[in-house]
Structure 1
Amino acid sequence: MRIVSGELKGRKLSPPASFRARPTTDRARESLFNILNNLIDFKSQIVLDLFSGTGAISLEFASRGCQSITAVEKNYAYFSFIKKTVSSWGLNKQIQVIKADVFKVLNKMEGNYTLIFADPPFALSTITDLPQMVFNSQLLLENGLFILEHGPEYNFEDSPHFWQNRRYGKVNFTFFR
């Protein structure tokens, strides 16, 4: 796994082989960030990365100069890996890593985010509830963007906040506003 663009372009991210997380492929990440390049000004973004896994998405946002990124990960091994990477890459001022359950954070966390990204486990039984939970949390600023990564078996076109969907193999990114 590598960072695909920005100041950290080409840096390798090597999570331990024991990780069971399904990281977003380099190709899908590159496609997502190419879309975002045309939608947002990275330098003005305040990002919340839910279900952070390896931290690759947070690192991609940091590489492009986002103001701040908050990465939320429940699994201690993944959380520790992200913390270690953030520290060794000198990104402590830009990325805050929180060990917490996303569903509890959405109900208790305070903040004003311009972009929220979520990459839950594809088998998560409550994945279809996530868009409404994010919008109910009031963490996303008006005109903010919520992006949900999910498998092809889900369709969110009926969601009141649905904007568009992009598919890259078995990876889907659904955008909500």
Structure 2
Amino acid sequence: MRIISGKYKGRRISPPKNLPVRPTTDMSKEALFNIINNHFNFSGLKVLDLFAGTGNISYEFASRGSAPIVSVDGDFGCTRFIKQTAAAFDFDITPIKNDVFKFLEKHSSAYDFIFADPPYGMDQAQFDKIVTTVFDNGLLEEDGMMVIEHSKYTPLRHLPNFSFEKSYGGSFFSFFEFESAVTDDDDDDAEEE
């Protein structure tokens, strides 16, 4: 696993082999961050990384100057590794060992970017719940974006605030954003003309 861009571009990170993870591939990660780069300035971006695993995505944001970053995973080995790696690189990453769904239900901070990489075998209702809970609880800033990584067997286009989808190899990324609405002011201007 390596960091593909930013201050620590090219640095390799070697997580323990016994972690229960499926890291996002370098090819998929590079394509994903190219898309994100077209929407955001990474510096100071407030990020929430759900099902963080090895911290692969968190390190990528941190290397580009994003902070603060919160990384949530239910596995103690994963959060311990993220804590050790963040300290070694002096990244502003806070690992939290918690069930992601419990965390989302009780958490109240809003983020500019939320990334979720649940186990591909998780059932459809749980994937749906990630999206609905994030938006219902106000965890995404109004100009923010959420991305969920999933397999082709888990469609997410039917969910509210779905924006677009990209696929790379066997991985799919679904993007969610608040829909921009026409304001009342725009209607008033049209009537005056």
Taking structure 2 as the reference length, the TM-score comes to 0.87
Equivalent residues in 2 for 1:140-155, closer than 5 Å: 140-155=140-155
User: Counterpart in 2 of 1:21?
Assistant: 21
* Deviation digits for residues 17-61 of structure 1 (CA, Å, limit 9, x no counterpart): 212300000111111001111111111410000010000100000
Distance 2:8 2:33 in 1: 14
What value does the CA root-mean-square deviation take over the aligned residues? 1.0
User: Counterpart in 2 of 1:96?
Assistant: 94
Equivalent residues in 2 for 1:7-156, closer than 5 Å: 7-91=7-91, 94-125=92-123, 126-156=126-156
Counterpart secondary structure, 1:23: coil
Distance 2:128 2:110 in 1: 23
Taking structure 1 as the reference length, the TM-score comes to 0.95
Q: Aligned-pair distance for 1:71?
A: 0.6
Distance 1:156 1:43 in 2: 29
Distance 1:129 1:42 in 2: 27
Counterpart secondary structure, 2:43: helix
User: Counterpart in 1 of 2:174?
Assistant: 174
- Identity %, equivalent residues: 44
AA aligned to 2:79 is F
User: Counterpart in 1 of 2:162?
Assistant: 162
Distance 1:143 1:84 in 2: 32
AA aligned to 1:146 is M
Segments of structure 1 that go 5 or more residues without pairing to the other structure are: none
Distance 1:160 1:106 in 2: 17
Figure out how many residues of one structure are paired with residues of the other and give that number: 175
Counterpart secondary structure, 2:164: strand
Distance 1:18 1:141 in 2: 36
TM superposition outliers: structure 1 runs of 4+ over 4 Å: none
Segments of structure 2 that go 5 or more residues without pairing to the other structure are: 178-193
Distance 2:132 2:98 in 1: 20
* Deviation digits for residues 109-130 of structure 1 (CA, Å, limit 9, x no counterpart): 1212111110011111212322
Distance 1:128 1:141 in 2: 19
Greater C-alpha radius of gyration: 2
Q: Aligned-pair distance for 1:68?
A: 1.2
